[in-house]
Homo-oligomer: A and B are copies of this chain.
Amino acid sequence: MKEENRALEMSHKALSDVAAEADNRGITIQRVGVKDVHLPIQVRRKTAGFVGALARIDLAVELPHHFRGTHMSRFVEVLFDFGQHPIGPGEIAEMLAEARKRLGARRADLRLAFKYFITKSAPATSAESALDYDCLFEGEQDESAFVFTLGVEVPVTLLCPCSKEISSRGAHSQRATVRVKVRTSPGEIIWIEDLVSLIEAQGSSGVYPVLKREDEKSVTEQAYDNPKFVEDILRDVVSALRGDSRITWFEVSCESMESIHNHSVFAYQQEERKP
């Protein structure tokens, strides 16, 4: 169509909806949506109330084979509407229901990644400071089911058992990151705070924003007394997760940024509880 004619025609009719056009390729698209939308949100705390956070969000729906495209602006509208209210698993379900409704979709999924701060007391002086944990809320919903996944990343200190055993003095240690995702039985909620505590207890030592000298002595000695391979911490986290009857599925990885290498070592496990 010539630009000139098109301009004329434009003034006489409503804007056509190209995305709503029929499609004859016969392909239902599993997921289509928006990615890396940044939005301030409110996250429910375990203790009463909620706290502000900054989320990076992906939201997608299934697109039936007979539509050419989806309506991308509606995804962002759904996100903005919910950005004002405290968000927990229940609200994730509501957001997905709203996205499915506004987009006429059978299925939708959502991923919110955000930093969450938890106040920690230093081990000797009890000095308080807040540590940042990378967290995830993931939800997936269709006509019959809603699956919610909670994810946390917990930094810990790992001290190498081999290095300790074979060396006449000292033992190399490093920061490691334990990433855990869990799903629970319907009606059960696991709070970020509790999942973080469960994981942190499995490191050679925890990490802290503020450590005075007495605290540094304490974490150094604790790590030295408690050497762990990535294999050890993975197994200890797996054992703890297996022991929580609310959990129906989990995924665990531990990555250790080795202080004696320029690469990482890691361990990984995914399990589903047999009903």
User: Contact residues of A with B, CB < 8 Å?
Assistant: 2-4, 6-7, 10, 15-19, 23, 25, 27, 29-40, 52-54, 58, 60, 63, 68-70, 72-73, 76-77, 80, 115, 117, 129-132, 155, 157-175, 205, 207-214, 216-217, 219-221, 223-225, 229-232, 234-236, 238-239, 255, 257-270
Contact = CB atoms under 8 A, between A and B. Distances in A.
Given A63-B231, A239-B25, A261 B209 contact: yes
Contacts of A239: 25, 27
15 contacts: A10-B168, A27-B239, A31-B266, A36-B263, A38-B115, A38-B132, A39-B132, A40-B130, A63-B267, A76-B209, A80-B209, A157-B172, A172-B219, A172-B223, A219-B260
A27 B236 CA distance: 9
B209 A131 contact: no
Nearest to A242: B27
Contact of A260 (B19, B34, B207): B207
